[in-house]
Each structure stands twice: as C-alpha cells, then as structure tokens.
Structure 1
Amino acid sequence: MSESTTDTGLLDVVIVGAGVTGIHQLYRAREAGFSVRLLEAGTGVGGTWYWNRYPEARFDSERYTYGYLFSQELWEEWEWTEHYAGQPEIERYFNHVVDRFGLRSDILFGTRVGSAVYDEDRGTWTVTAEDGTTLRTRFLVAATGVLSVPFVPDIEGRADFRGEQHHTARWPRTPIDFTGRRVALVGTGSSGVQIVPAIADQVADLTVYQLKADWVTPLNNRPITAAEQARLKADFERIRATLDTSPSGFLHEINPQNGADVSAEERQEFYEKIWNSPGFTKLTEHYRDMTFNPVVNAEWCDFMAAKIRGIVADPETAEKLVPKDGGYGARRPPFGTGYFEAYNRPNVSLVSLPDDPILRITEDGIETGAGLREFDIIIWGTGYDFGTGALNRLGVRGAGGLPLKEYWADGPRTYLGVAAAGFPNLFFPGGPHGALGNNPRYAGDQVEFVHRALLHAREHGHDVIAVEPAAEKEWTDLMNSSDSMSIFQRSSYFYGANIPGKAVSQLLNPTGRWKLQELIREVEENDYATFDFSKARRRPA
C-alpha cells in the first residue's frame, strides 16, 4: 500500500465517487477546511463521463446546465465547443475542474470500496477498499450516482462467446477498431441510439437487437457561436439564478399553453417546431398538457410516428421502430443524430426481440428463433441497476451492523433522497429519491445541503448526525405515494423493473425539485429538527 493511501488518522469526510457530485462535495469540503479524501474506482475523474467513452457518447443536456455554478471564474474561463458536448470534452472539463481547484491530491484513484462499517460508540465509519486501503472518517458521503452499475442480462452461453464483448458503460480506453467487423448491439436506450450511427459506416454489418422501441427524437446539436459564448459568460448571474430555481434544472422556458386550447392546424405547426428544437425542450417546452392529456400526447406520438415512417425506407423496419406500448414521456426519451437514417444503410438491420427473442449466445454469435447470426463483437447497451445499484454494492453496514442492502430490500427508504435512518453520518447526494430532471442540478442542491449540515455539526461541536425515523418514513411514503405525479411507467428502470429480482419501487423524486428545496429550507430554518445532532459516546482511539 502506497504512503498516499495509508492515512491512519481520523478524517472529517470521506467521499466515494469522482463524478459530478463527488467533485462538487470535495470542493466544498476542501473550501471549508475539512480533512477529506475521495475514493474513486477508476483511474480518472468524471464518473459516468469517465466510464462511458463509447463512440459518440455525449450530453443530451445543454453543457452549460450540467457544469458547475460554484465559481464564476470557472464558468467564464471554460469554453465548450458544442451545445451538447461529447465525452472527450466532458472528461477534459472535469479534469480541468479538479486541477483548477487543486483537488487531485485528495483523490485516491483505482480504489474501489468493498465495505463501509459504522462504529456506534465512536460515531465513525471505517471504509475499506478492495486493495486493502482503509480510512476512518467521521462522515461518509457516497456520491456513487444513479447510473453507475451496468446491467448485462443473464443469457445462456454469454461466457462462451469467443469474440469481444463490451458494455457501453465500461468501454475500454483504447479505441475499438470496428472496420470490417460484424457487430451486434443489444439495447436501444440513450447509449444505443448514440452508438448506432457512430459505427454504422465502419462495420461490415451491424445488427441491432431491440427489446422496446422508444420515441427517439433529434438532438439537434450544433456548435456554440462566438456570440453565444459571449452571452453565456455575460449572463452568468442570471443563468445561475435560473438554474438554481428551475424545476427541471434546465434553462428552458415553461410553455403555459395547453394543446387542447389551440386548433389542430396550430398543433401540427407546433409539433414541427418542437421536432426541430434541441434536446429535452421536447418535454420541457412542449404543451403544458402533453404529458397528461391523452389526446394531445397521442397526436404528438402520431406526428413522431409519421416522421419515423418518412425517414426509414423499409416499412417493416419502420414499424418496428415505432413504439406501441406507451405515449411520449412514459420512459426516459432518447435523443439521437442520424439514428433512424442509419437503418437505410444496407449493412444495418433490426431484430425486434419481442417477436424473435434471443435463445442463447454461442461461441460464434447470437441465436434467436430465426437462426444464428455470427459476430465478431457484441455491444451491450442494456442500461444500469439504477438508483440503488452502486450504494447496495458498497458493503455499507450501519447501526447494529444493519446492511444497507438488506434495509433497502423492498426499495429505498430515505430522507430528502440524501440520508437513511439507522445510518448516522452517511449521506448519498445524487442517489435515489433525489431527482426528477437534470441530475447535476438536483444533486447540487443536496451537496450544498449536506455541506451546510456538516458545518452546523462542526459549529455546535456535534460528532453524529442521524435522521429521525419518522422523517424518513414521511419522505419515503411521499415518494411511494406520488406515482400519479410522474409520467414514467412502472416498467421502466426508474422503478428498477429492468433488474431481475429487484423490488419494483419509486427511485426518483416525483414531487420535483421545488418540493425538495422547500423541505430543505424548512429543515434548516427549524434548526435541523428532523435530524438528531449529538456527541459520540466515546472518542476515537
């Protein structure tokens, strides 16, 4: 074990995960003078944007709504080249932030956490990594993210395949040469939609295995002009104020108009405008009643279906690409560039898994009822164990040795999506029950809340911060009883329904950002009454 990883003293804070949330928490801890270390399993920073480096991986949130707002100087000195930045640029940004603020010296790379055990008497956590690194800390912040643990379906024969296999969320740092290769892509979520057109002109042939069609709409990305750069820099204070209060976490303007209140001709003109609008504006700036008025939603879906049929030349393939099991917004919508157009290439084909399911993986390829197709590479774009996946793999044991994974067996139980009863001094900003929009903005609210709670404890001489069980129950019950406020189907990964054996439960915050911010204000104004601040029974050894 190297000298830099053997701090035997008691730290104030240990953070797990060097993604957007963990870096933010590290910055705040350093700024406040806390002794802190951040443990990162990878060899670099960026979290999702370190691990996901497949071809054409990129934001589908505008880059300036995703980055940090805690420094005007950082905002003004960093220039993004596109409205929706690609992975290499995103990774450079996070490295710039870490070096700009001198945070790298407090990050232990290649350090995957294997266990975190709470000592009730001393009010401390012992965090042990798989390489033997052990740190003791007063407070543990698990900034492990909701999109951290890739899911690969357990299909017979998968281990027997003699070619290459890659999950989009664990892409190798060395670029893969697709030239002349026979490639299978399993999964057509956001990652699959991005990767199809990115490799279609390189491969000998590409076969896409689709479990469910999604309402894919154009990302409509473009470079940021010099004039736009100047406006963005000049408007920092206004932009920050908007993003700090926006319910979606975007700069988008809410459309107050209902589709039912205008003529059919006006709606068609509006749909064309929305189709050509960028990214998530197709949800956030759509008619106010689009997500809950079935007539307007169905009409918008008919418009998109006509677009798909107009782009994809083969009618049979086009019909497979048109969703039949839910309206727009029922699942997290992907945004693509040239996705449907790729199916007009003679070397790209689509297999609808409900019609022709995978029977097994062989040494040479993928076998369905229609027969065996041979491949050199299989890409798994099959998503994540969303929300609780990473936290449940940290080996967390709270008061009385209670495993977090066991405590959450029937779904997460949290308070404000940031803490759990029975796990004192543990916080997980950016985890389950936190977001319903642009994740970094919601997680940023939680980071700042955690930071202020730590300052409060220090100022009042407290060692232990514990959530009151009644407060946890009230928040968790609110999350689980608010499905009607969410547009997502219970069959989506936002409920954990994609993971065999996982309890299907609410993993988002359907009440939205304003409710989260309102309760955070109430907690702080009431001197953290929903938490028990106390001194540890014994001093650390």
Structure 2
Amino acid sequence: MQRFDAIVVGAGFAGMHMLVKLREMGLSALVIERGSDVGGTWYWNRYPGARCDVPSMDYSVPWDDELDQEWNWTERYAAQPEILTYALHLADRHDLRRDIKFNASVNKADWNEDSKTWTVGTDTGDTYEARFFISGAGALSEPNLPDIPGIKSFKGELYHTGRWPRDKVALKGKRIAVLGTGSTGVQASTAIAKEAEHLYVLQRTAQYSLPCLTPPLSDEEIAKRKAIYPAHREWQRNSFAATWSDVGTPFAMTAAEHTPEQRLANMEKCWASGTAALVGVYADVSTNAETAQEVSDFVRNKIRQTVKDPVTAERLCPKQGTYIGTRRIIIDTGYYQIFNQPNVTLVDITEDPIVEITDTGVKLKSGTFHELDMLVVATGYDAVTGPLLSMNITGKDGLELREAWKDGPHTYMGLAVAGFPNLFTITGPSSPGVLANVIFSIDQHVQWIAGVLEHMRKIDAVEIDTTEAAQNEWAMHAAETYSRALRIHDDQNWYLGTNIPGKPRSVLVYQGGLGFYKTKCDEIAADNYRGFVFEREKAAA
C-alpha cells in the first residue's frame, strides 16, 4: 500500500492548488481524479454553449503572479474550451500530473484511530494510506438524473450536460429536447437552437436570465488589468463575491436613495452592460422585497419586449412573488431570442407535466408527444454534499458520513466535520463555495488548510478534529445569515438541496459573502483555532 502525507480528491482548480501548496510545505501528496486529465468542471462540462459566468480576468488563479502577466484571455467571459486550455497549461507549468492518479474514483475512505491515518480505496482496486484526506471534488460534480418513468429506456442519444462526450456531438438536423432551464440548460438551449432541426425546451420553472456580452478583450483592457493585478487580487479575496463590474452603478446605495427615473436609468445601464451587474444594481436587491420586485419586474418587461409571442413570453416570465437573485443568477448569449425562431418550442412541464419518456420521445399529460432524436438532461447536480457522500467516508467509531448527515450536513465553516479527523472539505457545506467566484473560495480554503497543517507541525499534532458544539454554532450563524436574504422565500433550489427528492433541506452555501467569511476564518485561526481539537504526537505513542 502506498503511503502519502495527504490524499486529495479531484484535479480541478481546487485539487491542483492544494497539490501546489502541499508540495511547497514539503509534504507528499497524491491527487485522485476520475477523469483522464485535469480541469474538473471544465473537463466534464463540454456541452454546447458552456461558458463561465464570471469575467475571465477574475476567474483565474490568484496564486501564480507570473501567469497573471503571461496569460492573455481572449473574451470577457471565457468559453469552456479556453478555460480547459488554461487548466491544462497550469498542470503543465507546475508539472502536476506526476502526482495525479487519473481514471480513478474514490469509493471508500476509512479513518484508522490507531495509526491516525486514512485508508482510501478506489474503483480501480488501488488502496492508499495518508495522514490527511482532502476533498476538492467540487460542489457541482455529482450529476442528477431525474427519476422520470422510462428515461433509461430512451433509444435516442441521451446526454447529461455534466458528462458530455469528449468527441463532438452532431446536432444538425436532429429533433432535440433540453430538460431544465437553469444556467446550464439556458446555455445549452441557446447554442443547440442554432443547429437543431427542432428544439423543445422543457421548462419546469421560469428563470431570470440577463444578457451576457462576450466581446474580445482588447490589448488595452488586458494591459489595464495586468497593471493592477496584485491589488485587484487582494481586493477579490476580501470582497463579497470576488468579482466586480465596472458599470459604475451605485452598488453601495439602496434603491430608496434614488428617484424612480434614476433607478430605471441604472437598471437600463446594467442590462445594456452585458454583465450580471443588474442583480447588484442596489445594495438591498437581495434583502428588500420592494427593491427586488422592481428589478424583477424590469426583467419581466425585457422578456416581454424580446419574445414576440405573448403567450410564450408570459411562460418565460418568472412568477410574481419570486425575486431575481434568490436562485443562482443566469447570464445568456441570446436565450430569450431563440423563442422567436420557428424551430424552437417552449414546453411548460408545470402546466403539462411529463408522463413518461418512451424509447422515441417525450409524452405529456395532455397526450402531446414530441418525437426526439436526442434528449439533453440539464437538471443539475446533487450539489455540495453529493460528491462527498459518494465516497463512502467512515470516521471515528465506524461513523459513516451518510449517517452523520442523514438530516443534513453538519460542518465547521464548511471545512471540517466532527468525528472525521484530518478530513478537510474544500468548498464544503456551509462555506461560500460557488455563491462567490469559486476560484477565490478555493483559494481561501486552500490557504487556510495549509495554515492549519503548518500549525499542526509546530505543535507536533497528529490529529485535528472539530466538535459538535462548534458545528452547531456555525450552523446557527449560517442559518441566521440566510434568513436575512430574500432567498429564504424560494424553497425550490439547489442552495437548499431541495432539487433532489428526499434530500434533507439545509443551507448548503454560506450567504454572508466571501470577505466576511474569510474574516471569520482568520479570527478562528488567530484564536488558537477555536472550535478545533488537536491531539499531539506523544498522546498517539
């Protein structure tokens, strides 16, 4: 059995960054990756139209200053191929692949109290031992295949957007349905509509989507950012979401401080910017129902102005009482416009539910049948907890993580779980994760984990654990933070896990912002790692 100081799961940006830090500390490490190369999300999400919703010059690693100056992004919002190329270059640049085991998935991880180590098994039959077990598996890496009668008997082409084939999929001349209208479904539908003979967009819930403009980045824009990159990176680390908009709108002001005319002008400016700025046009969009209503109505009117058929337009408008920003914001490159094309049909499966998927198409309750050549499933993921539970992790006294989390995940800061020593979860439950620019959520977690490992080295500790009391205190803080946001009124989204039937409702993503979260983590570290329990070397002898 091979032994390492640390086993890291996943070779996306989290796993690669963690590997670099462990090497810097002189620790041996092995990264286990189910794919055949690095890239994580951007390795698997190759569906048509896949694009990042964070500006490319913000969505890049902040721990390689030289690369910041050398790399030139081509568009404001990078598409999947360019981000994957960047990830592959990062692996080449730091010679990371020599410490990565590809084409292997962790299917078992057991804590050994006597040796203070983790025994980690994979689906390839290999077993490893390590002092530390660190998950960088990603919050959105466990695809959710909906339990629709007959879906597995469909004889046409069936693809989940999170497991899109590496080889190009032919779309031209085919009858295609996209199931789901979240960020992925919107991106895929917009791209597929350009080639399909006919596209059926199967919508359960209408979403707010903002226009995304992806112009090429000019030499001047690139040079301007590179000149301030160090300061900008520091700003990102301490900001709410680790990304900014240069639209110039008064993000620090509340809507009441402006007249209706000024508010409309600002909303128009944000809409025309081709960014997600509208969701933060005023500081109280996420907390004040009146402000959120005004911004939400603005978007509904934009949908009505864009979509020519009034019936289709109303079906695409989110229902009254649902506010912009309560779900993950979507930006698109012409989504609403595709419904003006004769080859695109919106199918509202709330009004007319799917009865079954046959071997040749989709049958609705009304009796309508849509014959298909291809079904694209864009129903998202078993988010945040799914990747961790799939590894069958067992901690102290035979406690299984699945049992410990049967009523929802319990963590301390989204980094550690009581009863599971020397386990760290990068962007784990109740951390900011993908609610901020995830590259910087990762950066904060990796830096913090490296800090606590160094602390353990100084005090000769062989074990770190947290307590249920610390977990409960953090859960209360996370729930209280969530309760202040209008998001609390939207119960059907993956932030709460309610997109998965039977999954316990819980706050999966911390709502207080990355900067405030970082401050809390730093305070805990400065207070001798308050809430953590260490066992020293002599106690293990």
Q: What is the CA-CA distance between 1:538 and the residue it aligns to?
A: 8.9
Task: Say if 2:513 is the partner of 1:512.
Answer: yes
Q: Is residue 2:364 matched to residue 1:368?
A: yes
Q: TM-score, normalised by structure 1?
A: 0.95
The one of 290, 305, 310 aligned to 1:310: 305
1:301–1:327 contact (8 Å) kept in structure 2 = yes
- Cα shift at 1:63: 1.4
Structure 2 letter corresponding to 1:227? E
Does the 8 Å contact 1:158/1:360 carry over to 2?
yes
> Structure 1, unaligned stretches of length 5 or more?
1-7
Q: Which residue of 2 aligns with 1:165?
A: 158
Aligned to 2:386: 389
2:121 is paired with a residue whose SS is strand
Aligned to 1:195: 188
TM superposition shift of 1:219: 1.3
Structure 2 partner of 1:468: 467
Measured against aligned partners, the alpha-carbon deviations of 1:103-140 in whole angstroms (never above 9, x if no partner) come to: 11001000100000000111100000011111100001
Instruction: Give the match for residue 20 of structure 1.
Output: 13
Q: Is the 8 A contact 1:123 1:537 kept in 2?
A: no
AA of the residue aligned to 1:437: A
CA distance in structure 2 between the partners assigned to 1:273 and 1:493 by the alignment: 30
**Equivalent position of 1:501 in the other structure:** 502
CA 1:502–1:537 in structure 2 vs 1: closer, same or farther (change >3 Å)? farther
Match of 1:282 in 2: 278
CA distance in 2, matches of 1:204, 1:278: 29
Measured against aligned partners, the alpha-carbon deviations of 1:422-462 in whole angstroms (never above 9, x if no partner) come to 00000001121111422221221111111111111123222
1:321 to 301, 305, 316: 316
1:441 aligns with 2:440: yes
**Distance in 1, Cα, partners of 2:4 & 2:136:** 17
| Contact 1:121 1:536 (C-alpha < 8 Å) held by counterparts | no
Contact 1:121-1:537 at 8 Å conserved across structures: no
In structure 2, distance between residues paired with 1:91 and 1:265: 43
Q: 2:350 is matched with which residue: 350, 354, 377?
A: 354
Question: How many residue pairs get matched?
Answer: 532
Distance 1:407 1:293 in 2: 36
- Aligned to 2:363, the other structure's residue is in SS state strand
Note the alpha carbon deviations across 1:70-101, whole angstroms, 9 max, x for none: 12101111111111100000001111111101
Question: 222, 225, 239: which one pairs with 2:218?
Answer: 225
Q: Which residue identity is paired with 2:293? A: A
Amino acid at match of 2:442: A
Aligned to 1:58: 51
Question: Residue 66 of structure 1: SS of its match in structure 2?
Answer: coil
- Matching residue's letter, 1:73: E
Whole-Å Cα distance in 2 between the matches of residues 120 and 537 of structure 1? 15
| SS, match of residue 266 in structure 2 | helix
Q: Decide whether aligned partners of structure 1 residues 477 and 292 sit closer, same or farther in structure 2, where only a CA change above 3 A counts.
A: closer
Match of 1:294 in 2: 289
Equivalence for 1:532: 533
Larger mean CA deviation between 240-249 and 33-42 belongs to 240-249
Q: Determine the structure 2 residue equivalent to 1:4.
A: none
Identify the match of residue 341 of structure 1 among 337, 353, 365.
Answer: 337
Match of 2:492 in 1: 491
Structure 2 partner of 1:205:
198
Which residue pairs with 1:180 in the alignment? 173
CA distance in 1, matches of 2:203, 2:477: 35
TM-score (normalizing by structure 2): 0.95
Relative distance call for 1:58 and 1:272 in structure 2 (3 A) is same
Q: Once the two structures are superposed, what CA deviation does each residue of 1:208-252 show, in whole Å capped at 9, x if it has no partner?
A: 100000011101221110001111211111111111111111134
Aligned to 2:400: 403
Residues 413-428 of structure 1 aligned to structure 2 (within 5 Å): 413-428=410-425
The aligned amino acid for 1:259 is: A
Question: Any idea what SS the aligned residue of 1:451 has?
Answer: helix
Task: State the distance in 2 between where 1:469 and 1:536 align.
Answer: 24
**Whole-angstrom distance in 1 between the partners of 2:275 and 2:11:** 26
Distance in 2 between residues matched to 1:373 and 1:175, nearest whole Å: 25
Contact 1:188 1:210 (8 Å CA) reproduced = yes
The answer on 1:268 being equivalent to 2:269 is: no
Q: Secondary structure at the match of 1:450?
A: helix
Q: Say whether the 8 Å CA contact 1:190–1:334 is kept in structure 2.
A: yes
SS of the residue 1:507 aligns to = coil
**Helix, strand or coil at the partner of 1:235:** helix
After the TM superposition, which of the residue ranges 482-491 and 233-242 deviates more from structure 2?
Answer: 482-491
Deviation digits for residues 180-231 of structure 1, max 9, x if unmatched? 1110110011011111121212111000100000011101221110001111
AA aligned to 1:148 is S
Q: 2 CA distance for matches of 1:456 and 1:10?
A: 22
The answer to whether the 8 Å contact 1:45/1:94 transfers is yes
Equivalent AA in structure 1 for residue 336 of structure 2:
F
Q: Distance in 1 between matches of 2:74 and 2:389?
A: 37
Match of 1:451 in 2: 450
What CA RMSD, in Å, does the superposition of the two structures yield over aligned residues?
A: 1.6
For 1:259 and 1:523, the matched residues in 2 are separated by: 35
Matching residue of 2:481: 482
Work out the CA distance in 2 between the residues paired with 1:458 and 1:252. Answer: 41
Aligned AA for 1:501? Answer: G
C-alpha contact (below 8 Å) 1:40/1:109 kept by paired residues: yes
Q: SS state of the match for residue 465, structure 2?
A: strand
Counterpart residue number, 1:123: 116
Deviation at 1:487, TM superposition (A): 3.5
More off after superposition, 469-478 vs 326-335 = 469-478
What is the aligned partner in structure 1 of residue 105 from structure 2? 112
